[in-house]
Chains A and B, each alone.
Chain A
Amino acid sequence: MAQTPPSTPNFLLRLWRNEGSRGVIIQIVTMVVLFALIAAIARNVVVNLAEVGKEFSFGFLVWPAAYDIGFSPFIEYTNQSTHLRAAVVGLLNTLLVAVCGCVLASVLGFALGIMRLSSNWLVSKISYVFVEFVRNVPVLIHILAIYSLVVTLLPPAKKAIDVGAGAFFLSNRGFYTPSPVFEPGAGLVGIAIILAIVIAVVFRRWAKRVQDQTGKAYPVFWISAAIIIALPGIAFLAAGMPLSWDIPALKGFNFKGGMAIKPEFLALCLALSYYTACFISEIVRAGILAISRGQSEAAHALGLQNNRTLQLIVIPQALRVIVPPLCSQYLNLTKNSSLAIAIGYMDITATIGGISLMQTGKEMETMIIVMGVYLVISLIISSFMNWFNQRIKLTER
């Protein structure tokens, strides 16, 4: 039988047929194409910028911003401040609405999720209808609708609704609450609070060690609660009650004094939190359903009471399922807070990515800043999630 001589394809074809060298070729080609693309874009940017007479620099950040920001609860800001300061105000506002939204969304989401699992038919159905309606409607519509409700349905400041004890007022200019005024000596109370928390943590550790060694259990929760309430309380009395309240009062057309929660913030925070809560409720429901009944039955068989079962067996396992998607919901909420621009709440997108962009014409620079900020926030939240996942994994056998 005549053996056909092995075909000798040319060198390039052999390179292509070898898996290792083919990989290298594909990667080289990808990188070359990618860098060519980036280079072309960079060249276009340079040419285009030169054509309209702009230069790429972040120097505009120190120019005066010349626009007002109505809501800057943390740092001083006037329209003479720089664009950089406007960006910082925006960032703080974003973080404020994100944190408030996440807390509210978690509380509401857990409540809705537990309601959905309730054995009470009516409660479960109310939760179901609410969740399905809310989460199938874009969040922007929720934000705009809530904002328009707040602005049109609430009375003007002169006819503000007194919602509590002549100190809390609701009007279309916002929600007015008394603000605390700290007098000298308040620092002592602050120190006492920190001290109380430290003592409680130390006590908790000690109690756990004692229980591990001897089996003797202390009512850790009640004792810690007592420490955390009593110590600052005593300090407060000892310092001569260094706290008074600045109560809002109607002067002319608006309220003076107290703390004002702007309608924009109110609407954004509410809409974002109940929208996200609907997603969280599904996550919570799935997490609790994921724990098989045998787990709590086993705990009962070991003689654990209901609340100890929940605390030691069900919740730790459910959290393992709940936390990763919960974190990505927090991330979504933070990113959705950029919709603030639609109702004029001055977050980072609306300040530096909105008005500063329009005023200075620095599209590239401002967008780089805004995207960079969101990327950093995302990275922080997702690295927290990874850390938490690792920690939770360790408790597994």
Chain B
Amino acid sequence: MAQNQAKQAYAAGAHPDLPPPVRTTGPVGWIRANLLSSPLNITLTLLSAWLLWSIVPPVLNWALFDAIWSATDRKDCWAQMDEPRAGACWAFIRGSFRLFIYGWYPEPERWRVNVAFVLLLLAIVGVLRDNLPGKKYWLWFAVAFPFIGAWLIVGGFGLTPVGTQKLGGILLTVIIGVTGITFSLPLGIALALGRRSKLPALRAVCVIFIEFIRGVPLITLLFVASTMLTYFLPPGSTFDLLMRVLIMVTLFSAAYIAEVVRGGLQGLSSGQYEAADSLGLTYWKAHRLIILPQALKISIPGIVNTFIGLYKDSVLVLIIGMMDILGLGRARLNDPDWLGLAPELYLFIALFFFLCCFSMARYSLSLEKKLETGHAQ
């Protein structure tokens, strides 16, 4: 009755909006909806909170609050802590940081590596940003970069030559990653086209190559590169180990890219091919102007995933004795001064890879979203 009377005080439709109930909006409402909506949810929330409480504070304490940042060796590190091994000894990573980045690259020539890194960043920005002035020239620069970078790092043509056995650490990881990515894309596209070709012999060759590479682990291919490949070459000729590894890594990821691109090619409707044919375009013109731009657009997420895989797989070279960042790190672990600091090392390397790969993955995701709106009608 009382409610009815209150309602009557307003003309029809003139009642001011009441604020929503406090329990359904704001932080309280959010917590009720997302954490405490049912008995099961309450249990799950409590369990998760307990899990976080038992993992996060100890890890943070170890990695940040009790960690030591400068020390001469591990004994010194532990002496600075309340009790030995209570915290991380980041002094180990700090002390070897330059080694981890440059490997054994000769000290006076390291500016070349820095220049190469800067140029790499420029090339990446040039490829990724759409609205740069002179986009075409940026792309040409990106295509030329692997060769410029190779010249800067290996030397020759006016620069002091540096042997490839001196390369190591993050530098080596990036070299393998960048070379693999640049060369496996065109090769992968060619293989995909070959696999979809109308010519049976060409198709068979591509299928056998792709399926063989995808059927064996990368590590066996690297073994082949390190032990067996010299038998395949004319007697007396030798071949740089890094070069052999780069070829194998490129072939490996090209096979995976080929499958991704094939997926993209199959995703196109046959109308596109027919339209190209009816315009009288030749095979190459049709692919360059009509088929590939669309197929590659569809397969970008898959291609980026393959690149991420390649970048992560580059650490396998440690098994054939090359000193990438993981190999160097493990070598440093054997240093008597820093014995037994494996957790610090692995966490550091894991974070390095996480940063690289996660940003690639986020970029691919944003690209996917951008392309999706382009397709929406």
Are A and B subunits of one complex?
A: yes
Q: What is the minimal beta-carbon distance from B241 to any residue of chain A, in angstroms?
A: 15
Establish whether residues A375 and B216, one from each chain, have CB atoms under 8 Å apart when the complex forms: yes
Asked whether B308 is an interface residue with its Cβ less than 8 Å from the other chain, the reply is yes
Closest B-chain residue to A132, C-beta based? B358
CA distance A27 to B214 in the complex (A): 24
Chain A residues with Cβ under 8 A from B232's Cβ? 41, 44-45
Interface residues as binary, A358-382 with B (CB distance below 8 Å gives 1, 0 otherwise): 0000011001001100110011000
Interface residues as binary, A209-221 with B (CB distance below 8 Å gives 1, 0 otherwise): 0000000000000
CA distance A116 to B360 in the complex (A): 21
Asked whether A179 is an interface residue with its Cβ less than 8 Å from the other chain, the reply is no
Interface residues as binary, B187-212 with A (CB distance below 8 Å gives 1, 0 otherwise): 00000000000111110010000001
Q: What is the minimal beta-carbon distance from A164 to any residue of chain B, in angstroms?
A: 20
Chain A residues with Cβ under 8 A from B354's Cβ? 133, 136-137
Establish whether residues B343 and A149, one from each chain, have CB atoms under 8 Å apart when the complex forms: yes
Q: What is the minimal beta-carbon distance from B319 to any residue of chain A, in angstroms?
A: 6
Asked whether A26 is an interface residue with its Cβ less than 8 Å from the other chain, the reply is yes
- Point out the residue from B199, B224, B318 that lies within 8 Å of A27, measured CB to CB: B199
Establish whether residues B220 and A140, one from each chain, have CB atoms under 8 Å apart when the complex forms: no
Closest B-chain residue to A153, C-beta based? B343
Chain A residues with Cβ under 8 A from B51's Cβ? 126
- Which of B42-50, B93-101, B127-135, B162-170 makes up part of the contact surface? B42-50
Asked whether B228 is an interface residue with its Cβ less than 8 Å from the other chain, the reply is yes
Establish whether residues B202 and A26, one from each chain, have CB atoms under 8 Å apart when the complex forms: yes
Secondary structure at the B interface, as helix, strand, loop or mixed, is helix
Asked whether A163 is an interface residue with its Cβ less than 8 Å from the other chain, the reply is no
- Point out the residue from B37, B202, B235, B316 that lies within 8 Å of A30, measured CB to CB: B202
Count of interface residues, chain A, beta-carbon cutoff 8 Å: 51
Establish whether residues A378 and B49, one from each chain, have CB atoms under 8 Å apart when the complex forms: no
Establish whether residues B346 and A144, one from each chain, have CB atoms under 8 Å apart when the complex forms: yes
Chain B residues with Cβ under 8 A from A139's Cβ? 312
Establish whether residues B353 and A136, one from each chain, have CB atoms under 8 Å apart when the complex forms: yes
Chain B residues with Cβ under 8 A from A138's Cβ? 312-313, 315, 326, 353
Establish whether residues A375 and B201, one from each chain, have CB atoms under 8 Å apart when the complex forms: no
Establish whether residues B44 and A123, one from each chain, have CB atoms under 8 Å apart when the complex forms: yes
Asked whether B338 is an interface residue with its Cβ less than 8 Å from the other chain, the reply is no
Q: What is the minimal beta-carbon distance from B16 to any residue of chain A, in angstroms?
A: 33
- Point out the residue from A141, A339, A364 that lies within 8 Å of B353, measured CB to CB: A141
Asked whether B52 is an interface residue with its Cβ less than 8 Å from the other chain, the reply is yes
Establish whether residues A349 and B217, one from each chain, have CB atoms under 8 Å apart when the complex forms: yes
Asked whether A253 is an interface residue with its Cβ less than 8 Å from the other chain, the reply is no
Interface residues as binary, B310-340 with A (CB distance below 8 Å gives 1, 0 otherwise): 0011011011000000100010000000001
Establish whether residues A378 and B214, one from each chain, have CB atoms under 8 Å apart when the complex forms: yes
Establish whether residues B34 and A338, one from each chain, have CB atoms under 8 Å apart when the complex forms: no
Q: What is the minimal beta-carbon distance from A188 to any residue of chain B, in angstroms?
A: 44
Closest A-chain residue to B283, C-beta based? A19
Asked whether A342 is an interface residue with its Cβ less than 8 Å from the other chain, the reply is yes
CA distance A141 to B326 in the complex (A): 8
Counting chain B CB atoms within 10 Å of each CB, the highest count among A132, A144, A341, A379 belongs to A144
CA distance A119 to B233 in the complex (A): 60
Establish whether residues B216 and A335, one from each chain, have CB atoms under 8 Å apart when the complex forms: yes
Interface residues in A109-146 (C-beta closer than 8 Å to B): 118-123, 126, 132-133, 136-141, 144-145
Establish whether residues B235 and A137, one from each chain, have CB atoms under 8 Å apart when the complex forms: no
Establish whether residues B44 and A342, one from each chain, have CB atoms under 8 Å apart when the complex forms: no
Chain B residues with Cβ under 8 A from A48's Cβ? 230-231, 233, 235
CA distance A367 to B233 in the complex (A): 17
Q: What is the minimal beta-carbon distance from A356 to any residue of chain B, in angstroms?
A: 12
Q: With A126-B48, A126-B52 as given contacts, are A44 and B233 in contact (CB-CB < 8 Å)? A: yes
Interface residues in A130-187 (C-beta closer than 8 Å to B): 132-133, 136-141, 144-145, 148-149, 152
Establish whether residues A137 and B357, one from each chain, have CB atoms under 8 Å apart when the complex forms: yes
Interface residues in A340-361 (C-beta closer than 8 Å to B): 341-342, 349, 353, 357
CA distance A370 to B215 in the complex (A): 11
Asked whether A198 is an interface residue with its Cβ less than 8 Å from the other chain, the reply is no
Q: What is the minimal beta-carbon distance from B84 to any residue of chain A, in angstroms?
A: 13
CA distance A153 to B207 in the complex (A): 48
Chain B residues with Cβ under 8 A from A30's Cβ? 201-202, 205
Chain B residues with Cβ under 8 A from A371's Cβ? 216, 220
Chain B residues with Cβ under 8 A from A45's Cβ? 231-232
Counting chain A CB atoms within 10 Å of each CB, the highest count among B205, B219, B234 belongs to B219
Q: What is the minimal beta-carbon distance from B6 to any residue of chain A, in angstroms?
A: 37
Q: With A30-B201, A349-B217 as given contacts, are A49 and B37 in contact (CB-CB < 8 Å)? A: no
4 residue pairs, one from A and one from B, having the closest CB atoms: A378-B215, A136-B357, A121-B34, A27-B201
**Contacts A122-B45, A122-B52, A357-B227 given; 16 further ones with Cβ under 8 A?**
A30-B202, A44-B232, A44-B233, A45-B232, A121-B34, A123-B44, A137-B353, A137-B357, A138-B312, A138-B326, A145-B342, A145-B346, A152-B342, A371-B220, A375-B216, A378-B214
* A residues neighboring B (CB under 8 Å): 23, 26-27, 30-31, 34, 41, 44-45, 47-49, 51, 118-123, 126, 132-133, 136-141, 144-145, 148-149, 152, 335-336, 338-339, 341-342, 349, 353, 357, 363-364, 367, 370-371, 374-375, 378-379
* B residues neighboring A (CB under 8 Å): 34-35, 37, 41, 44-45, 48-49, 51-52, 198-202, 205, 212, 214-220, 223-224, 227-228, 230-235, 308, 312-313, 315-316, 318-319, 326, 330, 340, 342-343, 346-347, 349-350, 353-354, 357-358, 361
- Can you list 15 pairs linking A and B with CB atoms under 8 Å apart? A27-B201, A30-B201, A119-B41, A137-B353, A137-B354, A137-B357, A141-B346, A145-B342, A152-B342, A339-B219, A341-B219, A349-B223, A367-B224, A371-B216, A378-B214
